[in-house]
Amino acid sequence: MISRQMFGRTGHLSSRVIFGAAAFSRVSQDEADRTLEVLLEHGVNHIDTAARYGDSELRIGKWMARHRQDFFLATKTRERGYQAAWDDLRRSLDRLQVDAVDLWQFHNLVDAQEWDIAMGPDGVLAAAVEAREQGLIRFIGVTGHGLPIPSMHRRSLERFAFDSVLLPYNVTMMRTPQYAADVAALLKVCADRGVAVQTIKSLAVGPWDGPPTHSTWYEPLEEQADIDAAVHWVLGCPDVFLNTAGDIHLLPRVLEAAGRFECRPSEEEMQAAVDRCGMVALFTEERSGP
């Protein structure tokens, strides 16, 4: 079973590994239902989806009549304006077949102009605060990709007391000096304020260098030993949660790795994996995000 810890200041004891339901963007309900059994078997009790993840909310919605109490349920909106965000939330609740979600997140909020709209009086933040007051959501988070996102999350936390953040975190990204420094600063702020930190891209080898063979938008690790090393490296930071890769076929390998976690691999072990797999930083000045 995968260990659990408190998800920030929410009071929820979440599995250290969160199901990244982008993996449900283009799967059948039968495939989704088989995945549910895998999640329950490994003790995963936290789901992270988004309005923009294709059919993901629809697939999860089929579970909710029987399993709502088994999962901390999070979704996201890509809308930045007040009314559009409200419409998006209502659609998500309908698709998920629930009266409320535990966490509603602002999806990939990294662009400065979008940030100004989202945080303004007619932005998604105002909608989220109202939705929380009405009991439609319990907590509010912010997510993002690319090199600027750790510093942008810090800016967001200065503007509002978000309950969670989400950002890329893996060994190659953390060897980018400025990114590593920005992440360290963000982690300190989050630890001081009880903000949950979710991480993505743990299995990233780098951008695809050929036709994709998985539903992830980056080339992922595939061999179990390499996945073990990558997963254990992320879980070796006690302050973060690991959101699984966007491919249901990789999911069992990630959960198996997490179930075996004891300690973070050494730098020498990770360098061997980087060299063996040809891993590179997924985000650079030229490659800023999906």
pLDDT, position 269: 96
Q: Is the pLDDT of residue 33 over 80?
A: yes
* Confidence label for 288 from pLDDT (cuts 50, 70 and 90): low
Q: Is the pLDDT of residue 58 over 90?
A: yes
Hey, which residues does 101 pair with through a beta bridge? 137
Domain membership of residue 242 (yes or no) is: yes
Domain membership of residue 34 (yes or no) is: yes
Hey, which residues does 142 pair with through a beta bridge? 106, 165
> What mean pLDDT is reported for the chain?
96
For residue 207, the 8-state DSSP code is S
Q: Is the pLDDT of residue 287 over 90?
A: no
What's the rounded mean pLDDT across residues 67-71? 97
Domain membership of residue 287 (yes or no) is: no
Q: Is the pLDDT of residue 283 over 90?
A: no
pLDDT, position 286: 54
Domain membership of residue 283 (yes or no) is: no
Q: Is the pLDDT of residue 285 over 90?
A: no
pLDDT, position 290: 63
Number of domains in the chain: 1
Report which secondary-structure segment, H or E, holds 232: helix 224-235
Q: Which residues contact 37 (CB under 8 A, 6 or more apart)?
A: none
pLDDT tens across 192-238, in order? 999 999 999 999 999 998 899 999 989 999 999 999 999 999 999 99
Q: Which residues contact 189 (CB under 8 A, 6 or more apart)?
A: 154, 157, 195
Domain membership of residue 67 (yes or no) is: yes
DSSP string, the chain: ---EEE-TTS--EEESEEEEGGGGTT--HHHHHHHHHHHHHHT--EEE--TTSTTHHHHHHTTHHHHGGG-EEEEEE---BHHHHHHHHHHHHHHHT-S-EEEEEETT---HHHHHHHHSTTBHHHHHHHHHHTTSEEEEEEE--STTHHHHHHHHHHHS--SEEEEE--TTGGGSHHHHHHHHHHHHHHHHHT-EEEEE-TTEEES-SSS-SSSSSSEEP-SHHHHHHHHHHHHTSTT-EEEPPS-TTTHHHHHHHHHT--SPPPHHHHHHHHHHHT---S--SS----
pLDDT, position 48: 98
Q: Is 136 exposed, middle or buried (0-12, 13-18, 19+ CB in 10 A)?
A: buried
Share of the chain above pLDDT 70, in %: 98
CATH number of the domain enclosing 230? 3.20.20.100
Domain membership of residue 285 (yes or no) is: no
pLDDT tens across 21-32, in order? 999 999 999 999
Can you tell me whether residue 242 is helix, strand or coil?
strand
Query: Which segments within the chain are labelled E, that is strand?
Result: 4-6, 13-15, 17-20, 46-48, 72-77, 101-106, 137-143, 164-168, 196-200, 204-206, 219-220, 241-243
pLDDT, position 217: 86
Q: Which range marks the domain in which residue 54 is found?
A: 4-277
pLDDT, position 284: 81
Domain membership of residue 290 (yes or no) is: no
pTM above 0.85, yes or no: yes
Report which secondary-structure segment, H or E, holds 238: none
* Confidence label for 1 from pLDDT (cuts 50, 70 and 90): confident
Domain membership of residue 148 (yes or no) is: yes
Share of the chain above pLDDT 90, in %: 96
